[in-house]
Amino acid sequence: MTHPPRIALSFTLLLAALGAHANDFPTVERVLYVQECMRANPGPNFEMVNKCSCALDKVAAQVKFDEYVTISTMAKAVSIGGERGGELRDNETIKPQIARYRELQTKAQAACFIGAGPR
pLDDT digits (tens, 9 = 90+) for 70-90: 999 999 988 888 877 787 788
- Let me know the angle formed at the C-alpha of 40 by 106 and 103, rounded to the nearest 5 degrees: 15
Give residue 89's pLDDT. 81
CB-based contact 68:92 (threshold 8 Å): no
- Let me know the angle formed at the C-alpha of 39 by 76 and 45, rounded to the nearest 5 degrees: 145
CB-based contact 65:24 (threshold 8 Å): yes
Identity (one letter) of the amino acid at 75? Answer: A
Three-state DSSP at 78 gives: coil
Q: Domain map of the chain by residue range?
A: 26-111
Please tell me the pTM assigned to this model.
Answer: 0.73
* Mean pLDDT to the nearest integer, 30-49: 96
Check pLDDT > 60 for residue 35.
yes
